[in-house]
Structure 1
């Protein structure tokens, strides 16, 4: 496995295509959540894409780290169905936490994944909410000084 960390303009075109295809495959098709995935945030200069590639350079996981002013936001965390159950989300989260550094980090976790994110220091910060038909909770990891 290889972890690629890149801004939008640094992503090889085929890799970028595969990232958006994976997000569509899982979020829109598998989870039946038609939503505007291409929201413009992938293009922001400060956005970093964490992409997990297998030995054949196939995208098997991805997430993005956004700069939301005083804090970072992790989102679009996804692992290909064929690659699940191997700890690959953890590999990407470790890289994401390094990118976030000491800043406060926020995310909206699918409700069933709160324990996973708690392992990285996140705590639930608000009530459960429905986002595009999937229940989520807001979570944050406080800034470390």
Structure 2
């Protein structure tokens, strides 16, 4: 898999279209969750893209401290359904952590994790904080990696 990290202005129209299409496919259709994915935050984010044979198969967006949470943040982490179980989720998470360290010089990173992925994120050094909460009808918990 080949990874690219770009800010919003560096994205081509084709890349942006593919990102929005894949996010909608997973977070709206697959998870049967009606919510506003295009939230006005993409313009401030770093977009981490994982490509396999010209297909966008993994994605995440990263924020500097203060742009999403008080800490640097990673969100919208995903892997296209038919590419799961190949380790790409781990790869996109590692690349996102490194992008935050390199671009924002931050070591503390916060995420809003779906409950079923807590063990996955713990394997990347994240620890749960606070209580569970509902976000867009899906159980979540805050996690921080310091």
TM over 0.5: yes
Question: Partner of 1:40: helix, strand, or coil?
Answer: coil
* 2:34 is the alignment partner of 1:37: no
**Rounded Cα–Cα distance in structure 2 between residues aligned with 1:104 and 1:43:** 22
- The 3-state SS of whatever aligns with 1:125 is strand
Contact 1:28 1:34 in 2 (8 A): yes
Deviation at 1:30, TM superposition (A): 0.8
Q: Match of 1:68?
A: 65
CA drift of 1:22 comes to: 0.5
Aligned to 2:80: 80
**2:24 corresponding residue in structure 1:** 24
8 Å contact kept, 2:48–2:59:
yes
With the length of structure 1 as denominator, give the TM-score of the two structures. Answer: 0.91
Matching residue of 2:131: 127
The TM-score with structure 2 as length reference comes to: 0.91
* 2:132–2:141 Cα contact (<8 Å) kept: yes
Runs of 5+ consecutive residues of structure 1 not aligned to the other structure: none
Q: Deviations over 1:89-109 (max 9, x none)?
A: 111111111122243100011
